[in-house]
Amino acid sequence: MTEKTESPAETGKRLFEKEEAEGRAAAKKFDPKMLAKKATEKHMILDGDEEIYYYPLVLEDTADLSKAKTNEEYSTLMLFKMLEKAYPELTLEDVKKFPMGKGARILQLLTEADGFLPPEKTSAVS
């Protein structure tokens, strides 16, 4: 009896399909409830030795953000919305008085940490 040997292409295909099936089985399942819960948790980033606390933007924030008429207003409002829950005493007027460089740096750090950096809206301060 002769045993049929697998061609290199068949071996490659079999290994690929096995790895793909294992990858799908190990893939993290999307959990919308967990996603919503994480959005309500306080987060922290470091800027040098400063701890900056914030809450991620949520879809609910888009109503407020859409009121901005300029990129500068949008950026300022975005920064305020991310900081306001962590710093309840903070006002939008306070954020408007941040030094430009520091405000831009904080906004950049927060939006990068949160995975949200729309270049057409934040380019004015980045």
The domain spans of the chain are 37-122
Q: What is the pTM of this model?
A: 0.67
Task: Tell me if 112 sits within 8 A of 104, measured CB to CB.
Answer: no
pLDDT at 56 > cutoff 80: yes
Task: Please give the Cα distance from 121 to 104 (Å, whole number).
Answer: 12
Residue 6: pLDDT band with limits 50, 70, 90: confident
Q: If we measure between CA atoms, which residue out of 8, 31, 12 comes closest to residue 20?
A: 12
Condensed to tens digits (0 to 9), the pLDDT of residues 71-89 reads 999 999 999 999 999 999 9
